[in-house]
A and B are shown apart, each in its own frame.
Chain A
Amino acid sequence: MTTETAPGSAVPATVPDASGHFGVFGGRFAPEALMAALDELTVAFTAAREDPEFVAELNGLLRDYAGRPSLLTEARRFSREAGGARVLLKREDLNHTGSHKINNVLGQALLARRMGKTRLIAETGAGQHGVATATAAALFGFDCTVFMGAVDTERQALNVARMRMLGAEVVPVQTGSRTLKDACNEAFRDWVASVEHTHYCVGSTMGPHPFPMMVRDLHRIIGVEAREQVLALTGRLPDAVLACVGGGSNAIGAFHAFIPDESVRLIGFEAAGDGVETGRHAATVSGGSIGVIHGMRTYLLQDDEGQTIESHSISAGLDYPGVGPEHSWLHDTGRAEYRPVTDAEAMEAFALLCRTEGIIPAIESAHALAGALKVGRELGPDATLVVCLSGRGDKDMHTAAGYFGLMPEENDQ
Chain B
Amino acid sequence: MTPPDYEYFRKLLKDRSGLDLSADKQYLIESRLLPLSRKAGLSDITELVQKMKGGSADLTTQVVEAMTTNETFFFRDKVPFDHFRDSIVPEIVKARASRKSIRIWCAAGSTGQEPYSLAMCLKEMGAMLAGWRIEIIATDLSQEVLEKSKAGIYSQFEVQRGLPIQMLVKYFKQTGELWQINPDIRSMVQHRQLNLLHDFSQLGTFDVIFCRNVLIYFDQETKVNIFNRLAKITEPDGFLVLGAAETVVGLTDVFKPFPDKRGLYRPNAAGATPAKLPAASAAAPKFAAMAGH
B is bound to A = no
Residues on B facing A (Cβ under 8 Å)? none
A residues neighboring B (CB under 8 Å)? none
